[in-house]
Amino acid sequence: DTGVSQDPRHKITKRGQNVTFRCDPISEHNRLYWYRQTLGQGPEFLTYFQNEAQLEKSRLLSDRFSAERPKGSFSTLEIQRTEQGDSAMYLCASSLARQGIWGNTIYFGEGSWLTVV
């Protein structure tokens, strides 16, 4: 396994610009998650996919945020018209969900830092 990889690792953008983050999960992992983490806080759930289907979205995910997983492999998280409050680390995680198995471990990438200036 090469692990969960995220790109870019760091992004500085001006307020009002759009940004896109990419996540490549561990191969064969069918579930993919996006979280947001600010300094001194734990990860906050944004959304998750089972294969290509987006099954749940947090109320934190405003209409400026959109996530896709078009072929059930990599995923993208786009933020439109960025605001300073969007500055955070965006974490991607993946897991292999199997029927009847509880408590699957989710594996995190190293995160993508976003700074909006």
Partner 1 sequence: GNSVTQMEGPVTLSEEAFLTINCTYTATGYPSLFWYVQYPGEGLQLLLKATKADDKGSNKGFEATYRKETTSFHLEKGSVQVSDSAVYFCALSDRTSGTYKYIFGTGTRLKVLA
Helix H or strand E segment including 55 = strand 53-57
Among 45, 52, 72, 80, binds partner 1 (CB under 8 A): 45
Please tell me whether residue 91 binds partner 1 under the rule CB under 8 A.
Answer: yes
Please tell me whether residue 106 binds partner 1 under the rule CB under 8 A.
Answer: yes
Q: Which amino acid is at 111?
A: G
* Cβ neighbours, 10 Å, residue 112: 22
- 63 token code pair: 């209409």
Among 4, 77, 79, 88, binds partner 1 (CB under 8 A): 4
Buried b (16+ CB within 10 A) or exposed e, 84-107: eebbbbbbbbbbbeeeeeeeeebb
Select from 18-26, 27-35, 70-78, 80-88 the region that touches partner 1 (CB under 8 A): 27-35
Q: Which is nearer to partner 1, 14 or 102 (CB)?
A: 102
Q: Taking the complex as a whole, how short is the minimal distance between the CB of residue 67 and partner 1, in angstroms? A: 14
Residue 39's SS3 state is coil
List of residues contacting partner 1 (CB under 8 A) = 4, 31, 33, 35, 40-45, 48, 50, 55-56, 91, 93, 97, 102-111
